[in-house]
Amino acid sequence: MEDKLEDKNTKKSEEKNGIGESGVQHRLSATKEADEALNRIVERVNDGFSGGRVSRMQALSWLLIQQAEGLSESVIQEIRAEFFDEVALLESILRQAKSTGKVPHELRGVLQKQLGLNDESSKKKAKKVLTET
């Protein structure tokens, strides 16, 4: 009976500390701006809350879990646009080109133009002039 009581208290303590069912706790790094935003959230949640105290870890965990399920495609696209990296895209295209041996047609044109190989005037053939003899 004492073991059950101890396990129950440990579980409640872990849940209170934000560890939860799995018992595993992870650390996350955040920018200064994100850290300040989290502080504002925790302050707002705890302001006037006499039923306990919400820790930073509890608030962050709750927010992440709640938002993960409702993440819309438009929000995903916003995040991608915010963190778009041209070099990463080019590296990805290069890896794909190396594995398939093919470069996307649009990129091929851009590369040829960069080298001056895709000049529009060189593509046009001179018309043959008919002459009377």
| pLDDT score at 120 | 58
Q: Considering all CA atoms of the chain, what is the largest pairwise distance in Å, rounded to the nearest integer?
A: 117
Query: Which one-letter DSSP state was computed for residue 19?
Result: -
Q: What value does the mean pLDDT take over residues 4-21? A: 49
Q: Which helix (H) or strand (E) holds 75?
A: helix 73-82
The answer on pLDDT for 17 being more than 70 is no
| pLDDT score at 69 | 84
pTM for the full predicted model? 0.54
Domain ranges of the chain: 2-82, 86-116
25 pLDDT band (50/70/90 cuts)?
Answer: confident
Q: What value does the mean pLDDT take over residues 28-46? A: 94
The phi, psi pair for 116, rounded to 5°, reads 80, 15
Radius of gyration of the chain (CA): 30
| pLDDT score at 62 | 92
d(CA 57, CA 78): 25
The rounded percent of the chain whose pLDDT value lies above 90 is 47
